[in-house]
Amino acid sequence: MTAIKHKAQRVGVFIDTQNLYHSAKNLYRSRVNFGAVLKEAVAGRTLIHAAAYVVTTESGDEKAFFEALTKIGIETKTKDLQVFYGGAKKADWDVGIAMDAVKFASKLDAIVLASGDGDFVPLVEYLKSQGVQVEAMAFGKSASGRLREAVDDFIDMGEASKTYLLGSSRSAYLPSFIAGTNPEEPEQPEKGDA
């Protein structure tokens, strides 16, 4: 199915920040331009809701990043990083993203998942059964093939990576741990680390 996009269409954008962060870091050694992600996701339509799901650390150094997201119109939903006995870390927002998408579905014509995580396939199938157009955007090299097949439209951010990545001079306002360059800050945990 081809996605239909028109200015009266009500859209919600749900950003899996960890998924995009790790893809940009591992594939391009760069950071994500969330403003560009939001602009492409909305695509001139009527934005009803945009949320980024993020993990807080004990140091709280990510405050500037959260403020930057808020300034561009993205609500930040935070969850504390879980550190288990033995040092294992976990930060997973999949259920939270899915619940919010289901809650907003009746108010939206289209939902954009900014994630390449294949765990969202059952969510996509459910939303489509409710008459909601579902789109995804992620870096294609790290996106699930199952997710790409399930959605109505997939935007491969890797095909225009310069649009969706921040250059070092433009990203100075972001805390260094977002880029993974400060060895004193904890690395953002891999999704599903436990």
Residue ranges of domains in the chain, CATH in brackets:
10-179 (3.40.50.1010)
Q: Which residues of the chain have pLDDT under 50?
A: 168-194
Contact present, 51 and 87 (Cβ < 8 Å): no
Q: For the chain, how big is the Rg over CA atoms in Å? A: 16
What is the predicted pLDDT for the residue at 173? 38
Residue 131 backbone zone (phi > 0: left; psi -120 to 50: alpha; other: beta): left
| First CA to last CA distance, the chain | 37
What is the predicted pLDDT for the residue at 1? 56
**Pick from 74, 189, 58: nearest CA to 66:** 74
What is the predicted pLDDT for the residue at 84? 77
